[in-house]
Amino acid sequence: MKRLVCHRYGPPKDLVLENAPWPEPGPGQVSVRVGATGLGFVDGLLIAGKYQIQPPLPYVPGSEFAGTVEALGAGVEGLAVGDAVYGLGQGTLAEGALAPASQVYALPGGLSLAQGASLPINSFTALYGLEDCIRLAPGERMLVLGGGGGVGTAAIAVAKALGAWIVAGASSPAKAQAARAAGADAVVNPHLDSFREDLKAALGGEALTVVYDPVGGSFSEAAFRSLSPGGRHGVVGFASGTIPKLPLNLALLKRSSVVGVDWGGAMRADPTLNPRLAARLRVLLESGALTAPPVDARPLEAVVSALEDQLAGAIAGKLVITQAPEGA
Ligand SMILES: NC(=O)c1ccc[n+]([C@@H]2O[C@H](COP(=O)([O-])OP(=O)(O)OC[C@H]3O[C@@H](n4cnc5c(N)ncnc54)[C@H](OP(=O)(O)O)[C@@H]3O)[C@@H](O)[C@H]2O)c1
């Protein structure tokens, strides 16, 4: 089987396409024939060696997938060879990968493999962040920064399903379109000096009570200052590369809170979290309340340019690499 290998940290063009034996699942593991791999901002940083964690070399990038179960390790129950699944595994930028059975879930009905591969990280983070941490209530008005990116479009889709009214921050027509496709009711450009005025106009006099922030930088304080009493600013990530500092008097003056959203830490602390989130996601998707967020699906042959675009912040929606045409 083919797989992309990172032998040294650097630009995506340094990845090497190699052949390798099919992975054999150990106890509690599943091997999956990967049909699609979800990639995010973090994957580009990991390959470059610029993330807070540096995987030991060589390694195969990718940690989310959709595909079919190829083989079951000892003790695995509830899954069968040939099942259509999605989930979290290791080295998923390959035709085959291993995953712990506890992180492999039946693909919800009606979803393509590309849509399934887009779900684990971003939609689990959105559900955990919005329901468990921020406690989003129906009817609330929410700003999603990076609303045209992978994390942002997933948050918009989930917030829509939970009954929120959403304004997305997006810097280009393509990202604005992705945000609207995910369910945004309005779009503003946070890069403009008029950001706060534009946000106010988009809200039409209604109170902003939630910010979902995977971007950081100078946008964060501007967004926090726009909150109404009872507001919650969800800290999700720092795609801008700058961790903002917030004067604490703002929390007092705005009667608002900063809420940390660390899905990765939460899932490591609680092994029941992801199975619960997957079950919740299935209910929302299959009831029609939740629409899968938009994907930018590219073939495995185009992975280098896709990762370059990801690092440049130029992907609209969620980047997904497809190993084989749907249905092949
Ligand atoms: N907390 C968690 O549990 C969790 C889980 C998953 C991911 N994350 C984090 O979420 C963040 C976003 O990930 P993602 O996969 O959604 O990334 P993405 O698809 O690339 O989207 C990030 C967005 O950030 C904005 N941005 C502003 N300045 C940027 C810059 N200098 N470089 C790149 N983007 C910039 C861009 O939107 P505009 O151009 O419209 O401004 C871009 O669309 C990452 O920091 C990741 O680590 C956190």
pLDDT, residue 6, reads 97
CATH 3.90.180.10 maps onto the chain at 2-119+292-322, 122-264
- What angle is formed at CA 171 by the lines to CA 221 and CA 113, rounded to 5 degrees? 110
- Per-residue HEC secondary structure of the chain comes to CEEEEECCCCCHHHCEEEECCCCCCCCCEEEEEEEEEEECHHHHHHHHCCCCCCCCCCECCCCEEEEEEEEECCCCCCCCCCCEEEEECECCCECEEEEEHHHEEECCCCCCHHHHHCCHHHHHHHHHHHHHHCCCCCCCEEEECCCCCHHHHHHHHHHHHCCCEEEEECCCHHHHHHHHHHCCCEEECCCCCCHHHHHHHHHCCCCCCEEEECCCCHHHHHHHHCCCCCCEEEECCCCCCCCCCCCCHHHHHCCCEEEECCHHHHHHHCCCHHHHHHHHHHHHHHCCCCCCCCEEEEEHHHHHHHHHHHHCCCCCCEEEEECCCCCC
Confirm or reject: Cβ of 263 under 6 Å from ligand 1.
yes
CA–CA gap between residue 172 and residue 130 (Å, rounded): 25
Q: What is the pLDDT of residues 191-232, one digit of tens each?
A: 999 999 999 999 999 999 999 999 999 999 999 999 999 999
Stretch among 51-55, 235-239, 255-259, 318-322 having the lowest mean pLDDT = 51-55
Check: CB of residue 179 under 8 Å from CB of residue 170: yes
Q: What is the mean pLDDT of residues 4-9?
A: 97
CA of 264 to the centre of ligand 1 (A): 16
Q: What is the mean pLDDT of residues 172-191?
A: 98
pLDDT, residue 328, reads 43
- Which numbered atom of ligand 1 lies nearest the CA of 121? 6
Q: What is the pLDDT of residues 121-132, one digit of tens each?
A: 999 999 999 999
Tokens (6 digits) for 90: 């290791």
- Which numbered atom of ligand 1 lies nearest the CA of 265? 3
pLDDT band at 16 (very low <50, low <70, confident <90, very high): very high
Q: What percent of the chain has pLDDT over 90?
A: 95
Q: Closest residue (by CA) to atom 43 of ligand 1?
A: 149
- Which numbered atom of ligand 1 lies nearest the CA of 236? 1
pLDDT, residue 325, reads 59
Assigned CATH for 122-264: 3.90.180.10
CA–CA gap between residue 37 and residue 115 (Å, rounded): 10
Q: What is the mean pLDDT of residues 18-27?
A: 96
pLDDT, residue 52, reads 87
- Which numbered atom of ligand 1 lies nearest the CA of 40? 15
Q: What is the pLDDT of residues 51-93, one digit of tens each?
A: 988 999 999 999 999 999 999 999 999 999 999 999 999 999 9
Confirm or reject: Cβ of 189 under 6 Å from ligand 1.
no
Calculate helix-pair angle for 273-286, 120-127, nearest 10 degrees: 90
CA of 235 to the centre of ligand 1 (A): 12
pLDDT, residue 67, reads 98
CA of 73 to the centre of ligand 1 (A): 36
Confirm or reject: Cβ of 262 under 6 Å from ligand 1.
yes
Confirm or reject: Cβ of 306 under 6 Å from ligand 1.
no
Confirm or reject: Cβ of 170 under 6 Å from ligand 1.
yes
Q: Which residues contact 222 (CB under 8 A, 6 or more apart)?
A: 190, 195, 196
Q: What does the mean pLDDT of the chain come to?
A: 96
Q: What is the pLDDT of residues 138-173, one digit of tens each?
A: 999 999 999 999 999 999 999 999 999 999 999 999
Q: How far apart are the first and last CA of the chain?
A: 16
pLDDT band at 26 (very low <50, low <70, confident <90, very high): very high
Confirm or reject: Cβ of 59 under 6 Å from ligand 1.
no
Superfamily of the domain at 2-119+292-322: Medium-chain alcohol dehydrogenases, catalytic domain (3.90.180.10)
pLDDT, residue 327, reads 45
Confirm or reject: Cβ of 148 under 6 Å from ligand 1.
yes
CA of 83 to the centre of ligand 1 (A): 32
pTM of the model: 0.97
Confirm or reject: Cβ of 299 under 6 Å from ligand 1.
no
For the beta carbon of residue 98, count every other beta carbon within 10 angstroms.
Answer: 20
Residue 311 has pLDDT above 50, yes or no: yes
Q: What is the mean pLDDT of residues 277-282?
A: 97
Q: Closest residue (by CA) to atom 33 of ligand 1?
A: 313
pLDDT band at 326 (very low <50, low <70, confident <90, very high): low
- Residue to mutate, 37, 42, 274, ligand 1, most ligand atoms under 8 Å from C-beta: 42
Calculate helix-pair angle for 218-225, 195-203, nearest 10 degrees: 40
